[in-house]
Amino acid sequence: MAIRIQTRDNEPVEKALRRLRKLCNNEGVTRTSKAKKYFEKPSERRRREERERKKAIRLSMRAKRQDIAKLLNRRRKARKNARAAQRAELASKANQAAESTAPQGVEIVAPETTAPREPAAAATPADDPAPASAD
């Protein structure tokens, strides 16, 4: 397996070396050379490979969960938007119906929503001015 890097015009050597290192890492050359540096017992190799398989499964399951969560969020948003569109359509139909039944020259205005009023406090005799008696 040969890895070649062609330097570009006026490219610094450090940048070309960085590209070579990145390419070697992506191809797995660095990892295999480090693995072959020392002898690895067959039992250790099997344990390492099993760990790597479990890690790959764990990562793929995490990605699937994230994909499912994204899909569900997209569906929720779509349903929410559809319900809002239905409400808007019903409101416009109701307004059109109200306008068609209203006599000419009468404008129908929707009531404004305000904050609920607090109940008035009960009047006490001291607060209620009594008519002055003529003495």
Neighbour-count burial for 96-111, b at 16+ CB within 10 Å, e otherwise = eeeeeeeeeeeeeeee
Mapped onto helix, strand or coil, the DSSP state of residue 89 is helix
pLDDT at 117: 64
Q: Could you give the angle at the alpha carbon of 32 between the alpha carbons of 31 and 38, nearest 5°?
A: 105
- Going by C-alpha positions, the residue among 26, 22, 20 that lies closest to residue 7 is 20
DSSP string, 10-76: T--HHHHHHHHHHHHHHHTHHHHHHHHHS---HHHHHHHHHHHHHHHHHHHHHHHHHHHHHHHHHHH
pLDDT at 15: 92
The domain locations on the chain are 14-100
What does the pLDDT profile of the chain (135 residues) look like in tens digits?
678 888 888 889 999 999 999 988 888 888 888 888 888 899 999 999 999 999 999 999 999 999 999 999 999 999 999 999 999 999 888 888 777 775 666 666 666 666 666 666 555 555 555 555 554
